[in-house]
Structure 1
Amino acid sequence: MFYYLIRKLLFLIDPEKSHTLVFKYLNVKYIQILIGLFLKPIPSIPIKCMGLKFPNKVGLAAGMDKNGEYINFFSKLGFGFIELGTVTPLPQIGNQKPRMFRIFQSEAIINNMGFNNLGIDNLIYNIKKSKFKGIIGVNIGKNKNTSIKNATNDYLICIEKIYYYASYIAINISSPNTKNLRNLQYGILFKNLLKNIKIKQKEMHQKYSKYVPIAIKISPDLSKNEIIYISNQLIKFKIDAVIATNTTSDHLYKKNKKKIKGGLSGLPLQKKSNDVVSILHKQLKRKIPIIGVGGINSLHSAKKKIKLGAELIQIYSGLIYHGPKLIRNIIKKL
């Protein structure tokens, strides 16, 4: 009830401004001490995935903490893992504001952020100074000004820099908010990306004597044949996991009679995401684990995603609409 009262006030403010405001105060040391007193630790229900041991199946999806500024706060909510980013080699401001919109009646969010972040070096600094010893995934992307032809280089730069500090690395080639980014999911561009990523992973493995799994995050707007093609390539190149899915650009929500630009997340994404998870599960035959994300807003929807084939799940919009209680309820009863 307390969270819903706070939410009512925050929803009177522009979404991006309220996000910044909330986390600015949640990062205050004394606030974190109070949170620690009220939110008791959740018993671990370990699961092994990607060769890593997760305390539970529920993680924070990328996008909530792009720059790793709130790791200590999110670690107190009970998440089994935290995915930071999306982060790019160089800092960038992202797309023009306003670029985040709530669709309250649908429990949805549309964002057109465009990988706004402070760069990979800043993220490494924040990871190093955090006190969290759990599993941290780092979601990486390409800079806006890098051509699709040269995009692989941006991913390799990020992998080389973040490898030592990440528990796993997520390759974001499916955001609808960076021009032509989704082209990397197809044909020779996709094959070359996977090939070069695996070469870099092997190089870093030898350098640090540490194997860091790599996951590919895909779009919910792919056709069945495209998902089958992607599945085959993931198996061929021995990718460690697939994250299904990113946000969808397939929506008709409008503001001032114009379609809102950006990717839709939240409840309306649930079916699309579930369909992709289901197809992946049939094609991958458990050779590669699936991390399911999209539209999880209840214990029931979390169970559904896992039943369809996800070994781990992630939450983003559900946390905004229902607060920390949702996370803890799912973890305890899953």
Structure 2
Amino acid sequence: MLPSLASAALPALRLLDPERAHGVALRALSWGLVPPTRCPDHPALAVDCLGHRFANPIGLAAGFDKNAAAGPALLRLGFGFVETGSVTPRPQSGNPRPRVFRLTQDLGIINRLGFNNLGLAIYTRNLAKLSPRRIPLGANLGINKQGADPVRDYKALVEAVRALVDYAVINVSSPNTPGLRDLQTEAQLRSILQAVATIDSRPPILVKLAPDLSPDGLAAVVETCIEQGVAGLILGNTTLSRPAALKSVNATEAGGLSGLPLQKLATTMLARAYLLARGRLVLIGTGGIFSGGDVLTKIQAGASLVQLYTSFAFQGPALIPRLKAELLVALRDARLATLAESIGTRAAELAEQI
């Protein structure tokens, strides 16, 4: 299935329940029905950070391939990097269905999946099949709903994946695991990061934050992460807020909201984190990226890299080359030779947009 044909199949997939459609897409990828891209990236899109060279800044966010089952195909679709997971130490089924809802009119998704995954043993077995690889690979790590010990579990998760990935993410921001977001408090997060810091030969560690943090809460998290040697932040996860302008019938469903309605909130938080970090953390921006201009705005807000989820779910593999082409045009229009020149250039402005 060529990327254009894969995108042409999207209307049929949208007739299915969103979670079932997602499963069909993963199987198509794992069966090799979507061929790899063979077009090299323009040198202007390259980014050097986290100890790696990224051929382009556009990555796939966690949540799409929770068990790293479709990893080989995803690594060849033209992304600059791919993040798999979230994985928990033990398998868990997540919350009752239905638990994923399209907001088609708003270009958004609400999910309350609850870290459904097959567990660490299967996840690491799948990760082991992804070497050698041409692009950086990340692991997004979470904790089980029941029987969790965050300090113990995050340390064990990092130890399990450290030799298999290029970076690891401490996810303390999913809204669908009770108490998880409480781990963003200064004392709780410090305890987790201190335990992770004792691991030898660990990959760069990032922390994924909720876009709903207060300004004071964000400032405390940024300083804690810097103090504990964290390499970077992902800003941000889904939001529990609901913009008043939402039109879709599913807009009142419980869960985390992603996609275009999250764009302004997530970009504002990203810019504020950039101003707080002052170059001491690598930032990855996510939330509402549907165009090359959106990518550039995230980078101007302070991101070195960006991640997609909802737009990829809506538009399929054809989205990736289009975003890269549009990003090159946006760079040219801004009279910039490389992405690096634009990092944080509008942070002060974008930090005040809400």
- TM-score under structure 1 normalisation? 0.90
Return the alpha-carbon distance in structure 2 between the equivalents of residues 141 and 125 of structure 1.
Answer: 17
Query: 1:78, 1:25 → 2: CA distance?
Result: 17
Indicate yes or no: 2:12 matched with 1:9.
yes
Aligned to 1:208: none
- 1:176 and 2:167 matched: no
What do the CA deviations read for 1:226-284 (whole angstroms, capped 9, x no partner)? 11111111111121010000000112779989931111110001011001101001010
Structure 2 equivalent of residue 241 of structure 1 = 232
Which runs of structure 2 are paired with 1:60-209 in the superposition (5 Å)?
Answer: 60-130=60-130, 133=133, 134-147=135-148, 150-200=149-199, 204-205=200-201
Asked if the contact 1:57/1:331 (under 8 Å) is kept, the reply is: no
Q: Which deviates further from its counterpart, 323-332 or 163-172? A: 323-332
Distance 1:13 1:226, change over 3 A: same
Paired with 2:251 and 2:22, the residues of 1 have a C-alpha distance of: 25
Shift, 1:326, TM fit: 2.1
Amino acid of the residue matched to residue 219 of structure 1?
A: A
CA shift for structure 1 position 333: 4.3
Q: Decide which of 30, 33, 44 is 1:27's aligned counterpart.
A: 30
Cross-structure match for 2:211: 220
1:22, CA displacement in angstroms? 2.1
TM-score by length of 2: 0.85
Unaligned 5+ runs, structure 1: 206-210
The amino acid of 2:147's aligned partner reads T
Runs of 4+ in 1 over 4 A off after TM superposition: 1-4, 252-258
Mark the CA change 1:257 to 1:75 in structure 2 (over 3 Å): closer, same or farther. closer
Are the aligned partners of 2:283 and 2:304 in contact in 1 as well (CA < 8 Å)? yes
User: CA distance change for structure 1 residues 286 and 126 in 2, over 3 Å: closer, same or farther?
Assistant: same
- Could you tell me the percent identity over the aligned residues? 35
**Partners of 1:6 and 1:50 in 2: how far apart?**
36
Question: Alpha-carbon deviation of 1:40?
Answer: 2.6
Of 244, 269, 273, which residue of structure 2 is paired with 1:276? Answer: 269
Q: Which among 321, 333, 353 is matched to residue 328 of structure 1? A: 321
Q: In 1, are the aligned partners of 2:205 and 2:230 still within 8 Å (CA)?
A: yes
Contact 1:71 1:132 in 2 (8 A): no
Q: Name the CA distance, whole Å, in 1 between partners of 2:47 and 2:29.
A: 29
Which position in structure 2 is the counterpart of 1:308? 301
How much is the aligned-residue C-alpha RMSD, in angstroms? 2.0
* Cα drift, residue 132 of structure 1: 5.4
The change in CA–CA distance for 1:285 and 1:126 in structure 2 (over 3 A counts) is same
Q: How far apart, CA to CA, are the structure 2 residues paired with 1:70 and 1:3?
A: 15
Which consecutive unaligned segments of at least 5 residues does structure 2 have?
328-354
CA shift for structure 1 position 6: 1.7
For the Cα contact (< 8 Å) 2:291–2:326, is it kept in 1? Answer: no
Amino acid at match of 1:42: P
Aligned residue runs from structure 1 range 251-262, under 5 A: 251=242, 259-262=252-255
What residue number does 1:287 align with? 280
Q: Deviations over 1:74-132 (max 9, x none)?
A: 12210111100000111111111111000000100111110001111111111222365
Which residue is 1:48 aligned to? 48
Q: CA deviation at 1:332?
A: 3.8
CA contact (8 A) 1:75 1:132 kept: no
Alpha-carbon deviations, 1:208-228, whole Å to 9, x = none?
xxx510000000001111111
How many Å separate the matches in 1 of 2:114 and 2:204? 25
Deviation at 1:24, TM superposition (A): 1.3
CA distance in structure 2 between the aligned counterparts of 1:113 and 1:139, rounded to whole angstroms: 15
